[in-house]
Amino acid sequence: MHRGALTSRGTITTVLILQFIPLILFPPESFSPTTQEWWLPILLAVLVLIADFQLLVRRSSAAWPWYLSSFSQGFNIISRLMMLWSHATKMVGKESVVNWPYILLTGIAIALSVGVLWYNELPEVRQALLRTKPVAQVPPAESGKAAQSSP
């Protein structure tokens, strides 16, 4: 199956860089030092940073950077589902009200993580990122001269 624009180097690089968004998409109060949830998005973002460095800068052909990225996105989905139940409502005065911003951000982040997981698991994406420029070949006329001049 040919996926054209999905497998271009620019698209792959963009998705690998933008995969930070679902990991850090939390309401501002989640990053307060008084909560216990601020460290997880930072840890997952660091893991993705390591994976992106290996894939984009070092051009590693190893599978572990892909696994690290998938682990981060999968863990993001699981942790958000677990935190959703405790953050779905909040107390305003003496009343419990639905925390719509948190629910919407969680839904968007989960959907983005699922999209990144799907995209990163496409075999065409991994193959396209591994492709390098072809090595310049010596024209046949020059290779014959080189063979004649060698002892």
Residue 90, beta-bridge partner list: 97
138 pLDDT more than 90: no
**What's the whole-number average pLDDT of the chain?**
86
Give the total number of structural domains in the chain: 1
Residue 42 structural domain: 4-149
2 pLDDT more than 60: no
Is pLDDT larger for residue 144 or for residue 64? 64
Q: Which residues make Cβ contacts (< 8 Å) with residue 19, sequence separation at least 6?
A: 48, 52, 69, 72, 73, 116, 120
The predicted model scores a pTM of 0.78
> Where are the extended beta strands (E) located within 63-133?
89-92, 95-98
Contact between 129 and 10 under an 8 Å Cβ cutoff? The reply is no
Average pLDDT value for residue range 110-135: 84
What is the Cα–Cα distance from 138 to 1, expressed in whole angstroms? 34
Residue 91, beta-bridge partner list: 96
Is pLDDT larger for residue 38 or for residue 140? 38
Query: What dihedral angle (degrees, nearest 10) is formed by the CA atoms of 109, 34, 88, 107?
Result: 0
pLDDT digits (tens, 9 = 90+) for 9-62: 889 999 999 999 999 998 888 888 888 888 999 999 999 999 999 999 998 888
Tokens standing for 15? 């998705």
pLDDT grade for 135, boundaries at 50, 70 and 90: very low
